[in-house]
Amino acid sequence: MNEQQFKKLLIDMVSMGDYACKDELLPLLKIINIKFEKTAGFAYSGVWNQRKEYAYIEIIPERLVQIKSHVEYIKNMCYEVYPVNDDYTLSDIFFKPGTLSDYEEVSQEVLFDNIHRQIVDEIRGAKYVIWVAMAWFTDPKLFEELLKKKRQGVTIEIVLDDNDKNRNAEFSLESEFSTYWVTIQSLYKNIMHDKFCIIDFRTVVHGTFNWTKAANYNKETISIDNNRTTAESFADEFVRLKKVLFCNTYCEKALALDLFPKTRVNSRYVSKYERGYVPNNNRG
Neighbouring-strand partners of residue 196 = 133, 206
- pLDDT tier at 284 (50, 70, 90 boundaries)? very low
Q: Mean pLDDT over residues 137-150, rounded?
A: 92
Residue 19: predicted pLDDT = 94
What secondary structure letter does DSSP report for 137? B
Both 90 and 118 in one domain: the answer is: no
Domain boundary (64, 97, 130) is at 97
Both 64 and 119 in one domain: the answer is: no
Q: Is the residue at 276 inside a domain?
A: no
How far apart (Å, rounded) are the C-alpha atoms in residues 90 and 92? Answer: 6
**Does 259 score more than 70 pLDDT?**
no
Both 249 and 167 in one domain: the answer is: yes
- pLDDT tier at 192 (50, 70, 90 boundaries)? low
Domain boundary (38, 66, 97) is at 97
Q: How many domains does the chain have?
A: 2
240: domain CATH number? 3.30.870.10
Both 229 and 113 in one domain: the answer is: yes
Both 159 and 241 in one domain: the answer is: yes
How far apart (Å, rounded) are the C-alpha atoms in residues 13 and 11? Answer: 5
Least confident of 14-28, 214-228, 244-258, 270-284: 270-284
**Does 140 score more than 70 pLDDT?**
yes
Q: What is the mean pLDDT of the chain?
A: 81
The strand ranges marked E within the chain are 33-42, 51-59, 88-97, 107-111, 129-134, 155-161, 178-182, 184-185, 189-190, 195-199, 203-207, 222-226, 262-265, 268-271
Both 118 and 76 in one domain: the answer is: no
Looking at the chain, the whole-number percentage of residues with pLDDT higher than 70 is: 80
Residue 150: predicted pLDDT = 94
**Does 282 score more than 50 pLDDT?**
no
Range of the domain at 145: 107-257
Residue 136: predicted pLDDT = 85
Both 17 and 69 in one domain: the answer is: yes
- pLDDT tier at 174 (50, 70, 90 boundaries)? confident
**Tell me: the pLDDT tens digits for 44-69?**
888 999 999 999 999 989 899 999 99
Q: Mean pLDDT over residues 129-154, rounded?
A: 92
Domain boundary (62, 97, 132) is at 97
Residue 168 or 246, more confident: 168
